[in-house]
């Protein structure tokens, strides 16, 4: 499992000119799922992201987590995170999980984040989405689940 996490002051996702999800302070997450991912990877990733200490404390140090600041999540499925562009000019997406594997894990990710008490907004799996955000910092991290 792979995620690109951006600390945002606001973010939204639009489908067919309709805003389907939006958040204020928190993380906009692009989430990629591969063939070998399991619910164990989902749990690890949700715990990692909600516990990341990248929000500023009273001294201006990145020392507070999403949970500490009452932050929100905008979670967008992103199979292209598993694109391999090392050869040729057209990326291969062979490492991205097929929808029948990816959708249940994506939905489990959303469910587990909500169970932690985090406000969660989402895009729509497989849709043509327009994502807007104001990156706060900017702070952007790439997080991969542990090797199996």
Backbone phi and psi for residue 14, each to the nearest 5 degrees, phi listed first: -120, 135
Backbone phi and psi for residue 124, each to the nearest 5 degrees, phi listed first: -130, 120
d(CA 31, CA 143): 10
The active-site residue, picked from 50, 79, 109, 122, is 79
Instruction: Give whole-number Cα distances, 55 to 66, 132, 137, in Å.
Output: 7, 20, 10
54 touches 141 (CB < 8 A): yes
The active-site residue, picked from 34, 78, 109, 122, is 78
d(CA 112, CA 88): 38
Helix (H/G/I), strand (E/B), else coil: 31:
strand
75 touches 23 (CB < 8 A): no
140 is known as an active-site residue: no
24 is known as an active-site residue: no
Tell me the catalytic residues: 78-80
């Amino acid at each position: 499992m792979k995620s690109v996490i951006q600390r945002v002051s606001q973010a939204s996702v639009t489908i067919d000119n309709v805003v389907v999800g939006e958040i204020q302070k928190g993380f906009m997450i692009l989430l990629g799922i591969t063939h070998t991912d399991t619910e164990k990877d989902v749990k690890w990733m949700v715990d990692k992201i909600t516990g990341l200490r990248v929000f500023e404390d009273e001294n201006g140090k990145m020392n507070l987590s999403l949970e500490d600041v009452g932050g929100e999540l905008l979670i967008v499925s992103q199979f292209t995170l598993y694109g391999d562009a090392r050869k040729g000019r057209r990326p291969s997406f062979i490492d991205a999980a097929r929808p029948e594997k990816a959708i249940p894990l994506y939905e489990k990710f959303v469910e587990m984040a909500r169970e932690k008490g985090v406000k969660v907004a989402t895009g729509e799996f497989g849709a043509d989405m327009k994502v807007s955000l104001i990156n706060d910092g900017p702070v952007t991290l790439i997080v991969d689940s542990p090797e199996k």
